[in-house]
């Protein structure tokens, strides 16, 4: 059976261990023999916001630098980038680069994306997403490498290889996408379309230090000590779900990929170079997912009211809130506002996209699952 996914140990982000792990992860998938001199290779990384590498919120610069060196050694031009949350402008994105230590990429001979153009594109093969606005910088690439970070996520449950492509949507247009697809299942179907549209040549996932709990920005780093390489982002995410103790069908993006036949329902049906259980963390602290726990469908009465009553929702910790207004700024339906110096979220307007939770700089917004929902799930 051909190898679909390779997982190797990477105990830390030291240069020696990173280089060794990268070489070992790529070898079962044929290495980088497909790279030709003169190619432009775009590395789509995860730079969700202005976060330091030690936060475990961003793909670590040591891994990106090591990959850049390997690609440059084969004569490729390397461009690394992402569209983080916030304005799609040079000033903001460069501040994100700096915060995440992306100077390491430049030191390795790569470039940090400086093209902040937008392009209207169509994707006839899309199931959910067929027309959208796209970050222009990826259009000039001969090949795309998806280099994600394994974390929890308020809306999608898990963010890894597939969710990483939401960073191809310009930052200020992301709220529009949340508003168009407020349901977790529809939103993750859109993410699958984005991954298919971008068609990465190679997928890598930084699982050395992951993020558990209140991810994808305010959670807790959790050491897994692994680097994952895969032939597709769908196969990568199927294994990533197992690594953090999620069932495939409980991760909406994985469930959608399974339904479309893009990956098997059972990770054991993949060709995997190393024993997955060696790296799995059964007690990884996860977040509830509304899309996979649709309690309204289990209860034959109540309709929308019951779905609201049983669905996870954002909750503000007044003791942590500083009234900065970031939640109100990023909220697509304008359900969040600052009242008397503290954030408030209007339940009837809330679409449960968890943008407020993702971008709160103080971790004052968490994913709350009602007591009845927790009891029903047992």
Query: Going residue by residue through the chain (378 aa), what tens digit of pLDDT does each one get?
Result: 899 999 999 999 999 999 999 999 999 999 999 999 999 999 999 999 999 999 999 999 999 999 999 999 999 999 999 999 889 999 999 999 999 999 999 999 999 999 999 999 999 999 999 999 999 999 999 999 999 999 999 889 999 999 999 999 999 899 889 889 988 899 999 999 999 999 999 999 999 999 999 999 999 999 999 999 999 999 999 999 999 999 999 999 999 999 999 999 999 999 999 899 999 999 999 987 754 333 333 444 445 554 555 577 899 999 999 999 999 999 988 999 999 999 999 988 998 888 898 889 999 999 886 654 444 444
Per-residue pLDDT at 298? 41
Nearest C-alpha neighbor of 336 from the set 309, 363, 352, 178: 352
Angle between helix axes 15-26 and 61-73 (nearest 10 degrees) is: 60
Gyration radius (Cα) of the chain, Å:
20
Please state the pTM of the whole predicted model.
0.88
Residue by residue, DSSP assigns 251-304 as SHHHHHHHHTTSS-SSGGGS-BSS-GGGT--TT------TTT--GGGTSSS-HH
Spell 258-279 as b/e; 16+ CB within 10 A means b.
beeebbbeebeebebbbebeeb
Residues with Cβ within 8 Å of residue 94, at least 6 apart in sequence: 112
Q: Vertex 218, ends 118 and 200: CA angle to 5°?
A: 40
Provide the pairing of β-strand 131-135 with 118-122.
antiparallel
Contact 81, 139 (CB under 8 A): no
Residue/partner pairs of 337-344 with CB below 8 Å, 24 or more apart: 342/316, 342/318, 343/316, 344/316
Contact 145, 80 (CB under 8 A): no
Per-residue pLDDT at 172? 85
- Tell me if the bond preceding 79 is cis, omega within 30° of 0: no
CA 342 to CA 319: how far, in whole Å? 9
Which phi-psi region, left, alpha or beta, contains residue 316 (left: φ > 0; alpha: ψ -120 to 50)?
beta
Per-residue pLDDT at 295? 32
Burial class of residue 43, CB neighbours in 10 A (0-12, 13-18, 19+): buried
> What domains can be seen in the chain, in order of their start residue?
5-278 (3.40.50.11440), 295-377 (3.30.70.20)
Tracing tokens 């993750």 back to the chain, one arrives at 188
């Amino acid at each position: 059976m051909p190898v679909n996914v390779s997982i190797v140990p990477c105990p830390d982000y030291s240069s020696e261990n990173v280089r060794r792990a990268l070489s070992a992860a790529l070898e079962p998938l044929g290495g980088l023999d497909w790279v030709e001199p003169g190619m432009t290779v775009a590395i789509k990384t995860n730079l969700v916001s202005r976060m330091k590498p030690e936060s475990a919120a961003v793909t670590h610069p040591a891994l990106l630098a090591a990959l850049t060196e390997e690609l440059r050694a084969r004569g490729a031009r390397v461009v690394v980038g992402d569209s983080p949350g916030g304005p799609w402008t040079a000033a903001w994105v460069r501040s994100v680069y700096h915060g995440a230590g992306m100077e390491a990429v430049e030191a390795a001979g790569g470039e940090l994306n400086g093209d902040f153009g937008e392009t209207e594109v169509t994707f006839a093969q899309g199931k959910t997403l067929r027309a959208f606005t796209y970050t222009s910088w990826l259009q000039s690439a001969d090949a795309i490498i998806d280099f994600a970070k394994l974390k929890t996520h308020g809306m999608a449950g898990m963010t890894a290889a597939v969710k990483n492509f939401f960073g191809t949507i310009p930052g200020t247009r992301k709220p529009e996408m949340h508003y168009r697809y407020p349901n977790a299942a529809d939103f993750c179907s859109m993410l699958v379309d984005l991954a298919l549209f971008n068609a990465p040549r190679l997928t890598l996932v930084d699982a050395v230090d992951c993020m558990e709990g209140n991810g994808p920005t305010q959670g807790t780093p959790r050491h897994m000590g692994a680097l994952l390489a895969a032939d597709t982002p769908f196969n990568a995410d199927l294994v990533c779900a197992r690594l953090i103790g999620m069932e495939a069908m409980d991760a909406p993006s994985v469930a959608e990929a399974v339904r479309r036949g893009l990956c098997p329902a059972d990770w054991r049906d993949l060709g995997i170079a190393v024993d997955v259980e060696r790296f799995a963390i059964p007690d990884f602290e996860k977040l509830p997912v509304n899309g996979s726990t649709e309690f309204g469908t289990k209860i034959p009465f109540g309709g929308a009211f019951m779905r609201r009553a049983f669905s996870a929702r954002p909750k503000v910790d007044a003791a942590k809130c500083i009234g900065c207004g970031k939640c109100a700024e990023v909220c697509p339906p304008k359900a969040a506002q600052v009242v008397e110096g503290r954030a408030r979220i209007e339940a009837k307007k809330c679409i449960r996209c968890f943008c407020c939770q993702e971008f709160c700089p103080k971790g004052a917004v968490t994913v709350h699952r009602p007591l009845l929902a927790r009891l029903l799930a047992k």
